[in-house]
Amino acid sequence: GPTHPDVAVTLSNMAIIAREQAKFDEAERLTREALGIRLAVLGRGHPQTSNSYLAPGQLLDFEGRFREAEPLMLKSLEIRRKVYGDHPLIDLALSNLASVRQDLGDLDGAEVLYREALANQKPVYARNLYTFLLQQNVNLFPEVDRIRLQTTQARRVVEMFKTLYDE
């Protein structure tokens, strides 16, 4: 039915496509609809619900709406902490919340979260924070997405001017 967890997965996938098409309002609506389904069906403490808090948070972060993203990222982290404890599976939520706090100018708060993620991953990935951040691509993907979107938009403008002035 319309509230089955698989519907939430499909909505989340559709949100990714909408985001890639720069349809941010639609992407946000879809991520929030998926979150609503998971909250209703799986409850507040389920790992998939954590993912559903993370998705609109990442979208808002991508759009530069950091203050709106922060509580969603925090809720995702809280759920993962309860479910997994100090385990590498909380690192995505740690890194995303750290990124938002960094964007908000809370560098000390961001560093604490990055260091916690490092402590979880150190045996697996790195001996220092710099290497870990490079391996995790923390903060890189949102910036790459922004640049990709701006480049695509710039190309369209150039093509439009070529069409107008080359004829």
pLDDT for 43-84, tens place per residue?
A: 999 888 988 998 899 999 989 999 999 999 999 999 999 998
Helix (H), strand (E) at residue 109:
helix 107-121
For residues 107 and 141, which has the higher predicted lDDT (pLDDT)? 107
pLDDT digits (tens, 9 = 90+) for 118-130: 887 766 554 455 5
For residue 18, the model assigns a pLDDT of: 94
Compute the C-alpha angle 86/15/76, nearest 5°.
20
Provide the 8-state DSSP code for 106. -
Compute the C-alpha angle 36/40/46, nearest 5°.
95
